[in-house]
Chain A
Amino acid sequence: MEYEVVIGLEVHVQVRTKSKIFTSVGVGFGCDPNTLTDPVVLGFPGALPVINKEAVEKSVKVGMLLQSEIPEVTKWDRKNYFYPDSPKNYQISQFDQPICEGGKVEIELPGPSRNVMGEHKWIELTRAHLEEDVGKLNHFDGYSLVDYNRAGTPLLEIVSEPVLHAPDEAFAYLNALRMLMIYGDISDCDMEKGQMRCDANISIRPAGQEELGVKVEIKNMNSISGVRNGLAYEIERQIQTVKAGGAIVQETRGWDAAKNVTYHMRFKEESHDYRYFPDPDLMPVRIDDAWRKRIAATIPERPYDRQRRYYEDYDLPFTVTSVLVPDPKLCTFFEEAAKACGKARQAANWLMNNLLGELGNAGLSLSESKIKPAHIAELVNLIEEGAISKNIAKEQVFGTMFETGDMPAAIVEEKGLKQSNDTTELEPVCQEVIDANPGPVAEIQAGNDKAINFLKGQVMKATRGKANPALVDQVLKELIDKKG
C-alpha cells in the first residue's frame, strides 16, 4: 500500500534584541551561568514584566515577510506548567490573539541535479506568536543543572499547517524560513546556538484517505539536516510499524542524531493541561496604521523574488543564483559590482570562482575582504577592453588585489601587464615563431586549423602572456597566408 506523509513544523526563532522580552537584562549565548538574570527573569515575587518594543516590531516584520495578517490588537497569556526550565511555573506566551495569523512561505525543492533549479511551492502557515524562551537544562548522572540565561529571550514560534509531505520539503521550508529571517535581520538562525529550533508533527495515512493518521511529535532535531534525517527515519518507522500490523500511538519522540533513530520520550496522555489565561501584568499591544507603515517600509525584497530578478535582469544561471541569493551581503556586493561595470555575469563569475575561494582559504568573511565591488568592476572592464587577458587577470592580478587591496589597473600598470595590441610589436615575434616551427606551419597550410593553437601558445609564452590572443591569431594567420 502507498502511504502519504503529513508533516507540520513548529519553528522557534530567537528574535535578535539587546535585552530580554519582558525586562532590561541583556541577552546572549555562552555567558557565565545565570548572569543574564534579574527578578523578572527568575519570577521573583513582585517583579513586573514590561514588553520590549523591538521584539514586537521585529515580530511584526517577520509577519510581513511571511505575508501574515497582523491583527490590530495582540495580547499575552500565561501557559501554566511545572518544569524546571521555567522559573515561574508559567511561560508568558500568546494563546488566542497571536501577533501574526496565517501567512505563507515560498520554498524551493531540490532539482534533478545540483545545477538545475527544483520546483517552487508555497507552504501555508497557521500563525506565529511571540513568547519568552525558557532556561536550559544540563543533564548529569543523577541530577540536572538549570541555567536561566536563555530564559526571557524573545522567541517567535512559527507554526506551519500540516501541508508538508516529505523530509525534503521540510528541509526546503527551514532553509526558506532561515533566508527570510536573515534577509529581515531578525536572526542568524544558527541552530547550534539554539537561535532556531524545530519540532515536527508527523503522521502517515493510506494514499487517498481524507482523515489524518495518528500524529507523533519529534523533538531535538538540532540542525536542518537533522530535521530531514529525523523525519526520514520516523516515516520509515511508522510505515514499517503499520505494515507489520502494529498501530501508531500518539507520543512524543526524540531524535538521536548520533544513533540516527527516534526514541520514545512520553505519551501524549501525559501532556499538560496548560490552563491559559490572559497575563494580568501585561497590557495588550495595538499595532496601528502608522506603526505598521513604518515597519512595512523596512521589508526587504524576499529571497526568491531576488532570484527571479537575477534571472530576468542579469540572465544569471541557477548555479550562480543558488550561491548568491542565500547571502544578502554577497548579493549587495554583486549588485554593486554589476552596476559599476555593467557586466553582471562576468562580475558574478569573479565572485563565485575566485573571491569566495580566496576568502575561504584565508578564513575571512566578505566584510573583511580588501577586494570591494569597485575592484571587481574595474577588473571586468580591463578584460573587456582587451587591456589584459582573463589568464593574466586570474594569475597575476587577482591574488595581488586580494592581498593588498590595490586597484587592478594600478597593479597592471605597476607589473607592466598591459596586453600588447600593437601589431608592429607582435609581428616580429610571430614571424620568429613561424620560422622556428615549420612542422605546425605546414599542417596549417594543409588545412589543419587547430595547429595554430600551438603557435599561439609559443607567442603567448614569448610575450609572457601580454599579447592579445585574438590579435595573435590574426597576425599569425596573415603571416602564414603571406608565406603560403
Chain B
Amino acid sequence: MSDKGSIDIDYLANLARIELTDKERELFSSQLADILGYFEQLNQVDVSGVEPMAHAFQVENVLREDESVEGFDANTAVEHAAAKRNHMVQVPKVVEG
C-alpha cells in the first residue's frame, strides 16, 4: 500500500490468505483503487471542529452484568468444523507462536 490510490494486491492477498488469478488481481486492484479513491473524496470534507470518534452513533457503556450461562455441548461446537477429533477442531500442524 504505497502510493495514494494504488494498492499492493499481492501483499493484501497474502494477509487475507487467498490466492488470486492474474485476472482477479487486475479486477480487485482496480476495485480496491476505487474504494481508496472514494476515501480520498471523503478526506476532502472539512472536519475541523469535529471530534474524532470510533462510531457514528454517540452510544456508550453498553454493558452486561457478569452472569454465566451454559455453553454449547461438545458436539455442537465442532459440528461445522471441516475436521475434528476428540471434540476439538483439527487443523494442520502449526508452529506454536
Contact = CB atoms under 8 A, between A and B. Distances in A.
A424 interface: no
Contacts of B54: 75, 97, 278, 284
A80 B62 CA distance: 23
A51 interface: yes
A283 B55 contact: yes
Interface residues of B, number: 36
Given A82-B17, A219-B97, A252-B97, A34 B66 contact: no
Contacts of A148: 77, 89
Contacts of A18: 66-68
A145 B86 contact: yes
B42 to A, nearest CB: 15
B50 interface: no
A144 B71 contact: no
Interface residues of A, number: 57
Contact of B94 (A35, A41, A137, A286): A137
Interface in B77-97: 77-78, 85-97
A146 B89 contact: yes
A293 interface: no
A24 B97 contact: no
B contacts with A: majority SS: loop
Nearest to B16: A82
Nearest to A18: B68
A138 interface: yes
Contacts of A84: 89, 91, 94
A25 interface: yes
A51 B62 contact: yes
Given A84-B94, A143-B90, A24 B72 contact: no
A189 B87 CA distance: 28
B31 to A, nearest CB: 18
A254 B91 contact: no
Interface stretch (A53-61, A236-244, A384-392, A454-462): A53-61
A9 to B, nearest CB: 18
